[in-house]
Amino acid sequence: MKNKILTLYFIILLTTVCLTSTCSFTQAAGEGQWITAYTIEDATTGQQLAVFDAAAGTNQSSPILPNTEIKVTFTVNVFAAGADTMKLTTGLSKSSTHTNGYWELQTDGYDLGSSYNPNSASTSFKWTLGTFDMALYGKVPNLATTTSAKSINPVILTSGSSGTPIDQITIQVTSSGLANFNTVYNKHESTLRSLISNGVDQGYVTIYTNVLNASKTIANAGDPNNAIALLNSLDQATAPAGSTMQALFLPVIGVTAAIAVVFLVLFLRTRGKLSYFNIVVEDQIKDLEGLTLRASKIDRAMSANLDSVKDRLKRLVGM
């Protein structure tokens, strides 16, 4: 029985690694050499969404939803002289609430020159040594038709007429579904840290970790709803009190592992990789029949959960 569960662990882990290799998750970032600090906030509520400070080593961010009105306050350090102009460009749409254009210089005494136009999404300014603070107002583009995360640049700083980018601010824009997933994921990630600190059996920690990794892969690949459902399956399990109690909780770990397989198979079905996993699922159905019998002697509710999972697996493979 233990060998079966360990085999299932490895299957989930290998599948997660394979899927992860094709996906990425971009965080808000800036290079920090020219744009040395920035703060992004919801222009309507004032909620802070991201903060970066190269000197302090601060880089924190949260997902930003499409159509959000945001204010980006940033510091530009023009530390090298140049004979050309510099340019600021934004990937945001024009704000519907801020009527004074895109850009707002917040430093007195810094001369941007006559080419500076605060009402333009792309404006050049005089290349002058010094440091200035600028505020940008705009609306995050509508990406509601996609469920995967997208990266956009609210601020791009380029060098002169060549248009070579020398620094930029990057933010992650997500759908509401992916934002909901992040909330649920963070809760379970916190639970995992608590499990580890409390010395819960390593076998349980391993399966919990693998389910978290699988859920993130599925969400980033464009299916946050099934990713959330996979995370919610962890709520059905109870962490074993210690290694001496591990045997009593093997049926619960089996439930979580089986549900993980269900969602991974559903996810991979559209990618033409179902045949191998059908074999795995059919094998798990046989194991669940034995687990159900054992569970009925420990906990009737647990036994009912096992029956439910077994029925879902049977419907999945057409048994």
**Structural contact between residues 152 and 140, judged by C-beta atoms closer than 8 angstroms:** yes
What is the average pLDDT across 201-229? 77
Look at residues 90, 74, 83, 86 and name the one whose alpha carbon lies nearest to residue 31. Answer: 74
Backbone phi and psi for residue 313, each to the nearest 5 degrees, phi listed first: -65, -40
What's the DSSP call for residue 188? H
Q: Flag whether pLDDT at 182 surpasses 90.
A: no
What is the average pLDDT across 133-161? 83
Q: Flag whether pLDDT at 76 surpasses 50.
A: yes
Q: Percent of the chain having pLDDT more than 90? A: 32
What is the average pLDDT across 293-304? 58
Q: What does the alpha-carbon distance between residue 157 and residue 273 come to, in Å, rounded to a whole number? A: 44
What is the average pLDDT across 12-34? 42
Q: What does the alpha-carbon distance between residue 116 and residue 103 come to, in Å, rounded to a whole number? A: 10
Q: Flag whether pLDDT at 162 surpasses 60.
A: yes
Q: For position 160, what pLDDT does the model report?
A: 78
Q: For position 139, what pLDDT does the model report?
A: 94
Q: For position 267, what pLDDT does the model report?
A: 56
Q: For position 27, what pLDDT does the model report?
A: 35
Q: Flag whether pLDDT at 87 surpasses 70.
A: yes
What residue ranges do the domains of the chain occupy? 2-23+177-317, 31-174
Tokens of 235: 């709520």
Which has more confidence, 169 or 205? 169
CATH class of the domain whose range is 31-174: mainly beta
Cα distances (angstroms) measured from residue 319 to each of 66, 220, 229, 314 = 43, 31, 23, 5
Q: Flag whether pLDDT at 94 surpasses 50.
A: yes
Q: What does the alpha-carbon distance between residue 78 and residue 55 come to, in Å, rounded to a whole number? A: 16
Tokens of 182: 């992040």
Please report the beta strands in the chain, taking only residues with DSSP state E, as ranges in sequence order.
Answer: 29-30, 35-42, 48-53, 58-61, 69-78, 85-89, 103-105, 122-126, 130-139, 150-159, 164-173
Q: For position 276, what pLDDT does the model report?
A: 44
pLDDT in tens, 275-286: 444 555 565 556
Q: What is the DSSP string of 30-93?
A: E-SSSEEEEEEEETTT--EEEEEETTTTEEEE--B-TT-EEEEEEEEEE-S--SSEEEEE--SB
What is the average pLDDT across 103-109? 95
Q: Which of 35-44, 143-152, 154-163 has the lowest mean pLDDT?
A: 143-152
What is the average pLDDT across 248-266? 55
**Structural contact between residues 173 and 153, judged by C-beta atoms closer than 8 angstroms:** no
Q: Flag whether pLDDT at 288 surpasses 90.
A: no
Q: For position 130, what pLDDT does the model report?
A: 95
Q: What does the alpha-carbon distance between residue 58 and residue 54 come to, in Å, rounded to a whole number? A: 7
In terms of average pLDDT, the best of 8-17, 79-88, 253-262 is: 79-88
Q: Flag whether pLDDT at 61 surpasses 60.
A: yes
Q: What does the alpha-carbon distance between residue 215 and residue 220 come to, in Å, rounded to a whole number? A: 9
Mean model confidence pLDDT for the chain: 74
Q: At what angle do helices 2-20 and 202-220 cross, to 10 degrees?
A: 30
Tokens of 216: 């993130």
What's the number of CA atoms in the CB half-sphere (13 Å) around residue 144? Answer: 4
pLDDT in tens, 306-317: 566 556 556 655
What is the average pLDDT across 252-264? 57
Look at residues 169, 191, 298 and name the one whose alpha carbon lies nearest to residue 235. Answer: 191
| Torsion sign, CA atoms 172, 177, 180, 182 | negative
